[in-house]
Amino acid sequence: MREIVTLQLGNLSNYVATHFWNTQESYFTYSEDEKSLVDHNIHWRAGIGEDGSDTFLPRTVVYDLKGGFGSLRKVNPMYEAAQSEDAALTSLWPGKPTVHKQSLLSSIDYQRDLDAGVKPSKLKPSDVRYWSDFSRVYYHPKSLVQLYDFELHSSIMPFERFSMGTELFESLEKENEIVDRDWRPFVEECDQMQGVQVYTTLDDAWGGFASSYLEALRDEHPKTCIWVWGLQSPVSTIAREKRRLRLANTALSISQACAQASMVVPLAVPESRVPPGIAVDSSSAWHVSALLATAAESASLQSRLRLDRNSQPINLADMAQCLNVSGRQTLANMRMAVGPQAADSDELPDMELSQIGSSRDGVKTGSSSDRTFGRLSCIRTHDDTGRESATESTTNQRPIIGNTVVRNYETSLLYPLLDSFPSIYNYDLQGRESIPVHTSLASDGSIVYKMRNLRSQVAPFIPLEERENLVNGLSELGDAYQDDWSSGSDSDDDDA
């Protein structure tokens, strides 16, 4: 059934994934004469609740720190079994137990309206305290895993260093074998899993946790396609030392993730050059995640579209193969256009979301080559000329060695603007509840320069015992995007 199992690691990742699941839920159709373009069996799992009713829940495993789930309950109404007898009667302890309960966090009006089955009230950024505040879906109890070793937003012991994430994973795996406990049950339900998608942050300790988790997944599934959406938080308002720490975390995370994953796509809100029709409050995780979710959900849309007689299945592995032309190019740039600009499929999207290797510390930016090895585009417009376009020369044709591999896909399924989605797209939609989106994933020569910039910026702040491996890893990653016809000489090669 071409299933995709999702792994969500960290608070910002759960914000982005919540927008993703809300969007998937909106694709469901409930009329017999209305058929959805999306195959729901790919991302959703069928089951039976405690009351015997059918359930359809996300095929995902969600990790967050203590306090990160907000008012979300692990056991939802679909799996809430009525207990006919006191739990003490079935306990091994003959006495009467004393129970100490922490007061539950109250739900916001939006969630109470959803539970009551009425039209939810309009959300404001100040209303959203946690990602669960704007979630429109239920999760299976086994999907939600809270890690009590660290607390969200702790000032005493913040979860902010790459090494803290690797150490936490090692301790949990040693004690509980969390991959077998949390991950394996969802994989064993699949008939023909096409791949894994991972949402994780790169610039904090979750990058280390994800690196170790990816290594374990690769050991379990050596041939499975693994897509990583690597998220970065805005840095415009944080101190210089914190920016350097996040940059070092990002470098370590990218180096490790690219060694294990089939494709890694870094995503961050641009510090500059944001199109005038987009207004994102960088201090609001709800806003930031909405922009990044638009890009990730649209770019991967073709992997879950319903098949018909005239179409071929497009799997995550096919998407990765288009970008990874040489077999070593496991990092891709993301660009996106939203609104009227998305309708022009002949131009590259105007907003770049891959912000690795750039900083406000005076390091130059640019591209060592204009060479593009592979490009994968998804165009969601009103004028649908077929789900898969067929430009004769370079699009969707058998690739010629040395030529750029380009695949373009078009669909009339626009990106839905739900009541759980913030008003960040200030375009004249004329009453529409959806918006055109054009995304472009590319493996190109700019990654060479980005890796060199990243290497030169972080090398002075990495411990000596880790520096050599990191510098070599970033250099090898950048070399995979080196233009074969360039002279190979560059003054920046020895700057680290």
Say if residue 50's pLDDT is above 60: yes
pLDDT band at 423 (very low <50, low <70, confident <90, very high): very high
Contacts with 481 (C-beta within 8 Å, 6 or more apart), sequence order: 329, 331, 369, 371, 373, 443, 444, 445, 446, 447, 448, 451
- Give the Cα separation of 395 and 407 in Å (integer): 5
Instruction: Compute CA 397 distance to the chain's CA centroid, rounded to the nearest angstrom.
Output: 29
Q: How many CB atoms lie under 10 A from the CB of residue 89? A: 6
**pLDDT number for residue 74:** 75
Phi, psi (deg, nearest 5) at residue 450: -65, -40
**pLDDT number for residue 479:** 93
**Adjacent-strand bridge partners of 484:** none
**pLDDT number for residue 219:** 96
- Sign of CA pseudo-dihedral 467, 469, 470, 473: positive
Q: Which domains, ranges and CATH numbers included, belong to the chain?
A: 3-29+36-78+111-360+368-480 (3.40.50.1440)
What integer is the mean pLDDT of 195-208? 97
Exposure string (b/e) for 299-331, b if CB count within 10 Å is 16 or more? bbbbbbbeeeeeeeebbbbbbbbbbbbeeebbb
Please answer whether residues 454 and 471 qualify as being in contact, where contact means their C-beta atoms are separated by less than 8 angstroms.
no
- Give the Cα separation of 158 and 196 in Å (integer): 29
The helix (H) or strand (E) run that includes residue 64 is: strand 60-66
Say if residue 260's pLDDT is above 50: yes
On the 0-12 / 13-18 / 19+ scale of CB atoms within 10 A, 365 is: exposed
Average pLDDT, the chain: 85
> What is the torsion angle, in degrees rounded to the nearest 10, for the CA atoms of residue 189, residue 6, residue 64 and residue 49?
-40
Closest CA to 248 of 477, 462, 456: 462
Say if residue 387's pLDDT is above 60: no
Closest CA to 447 of 362, 346, 326: 326
Distance (Å) of CA 7 to CA 43, 178, 182, 218, 283: 12, 13, 10, 14, 25
**pLDDT number for residue 453:** 92
What integer is the mean pLDDT of 418-442? 88
Identify residue 196 by its one-letter amino acid code. V
Q: pLDDT (tens digit, 9 = 90+) per residue, 310-353?
A: 567 789 999 999 999 989 999 999 999 998 888 777 788 989 99
Say if residue 493's pLDDT is above 60: no
Q: pLDDT (tens digit, 9 = 90+) per residue, 342-375?
A: 877 778 898 999 988 654 444 444 444 578 999 9
- Give the Cα separation of 234 and 390 in Å (integer): 38
**pLDDT number for residue 311:** 63
In the chain, what is the straight-line distance between the N-terminal and C-terminal CA atoms, in Å?
Answer: 48
Q: Are strands 437-444 and 372-380 parallel, antiparallel or unpaired?
A: antiparallel
Closest CA to 377 of 404, 402, 355: 404
Say if residue 466's pLDDT is above 60: yes
**pLDDT number for residue 101:** 63
Q: pLDDT (tens digit, 9 = 90+) per residue, 212-221?
A: 999 999 999 9
Task: Walk across the sheet containing 144-151 and list its strands.
Answer: 144-151, 60-66, 4-9, 195-201, 225-231, 263-267
- Which residue would you say has higher pLDDT here, 99 or 92? 99
**pLDDT number for residue 362:** 42
- Give the Cα separation of 38 and 36 in Å (integer): 5
DSSP code at position 476: H
Angle in degrees, 0-180, between the axes of helices 240-260 and 162-176, rounded to the nearest 10: 50
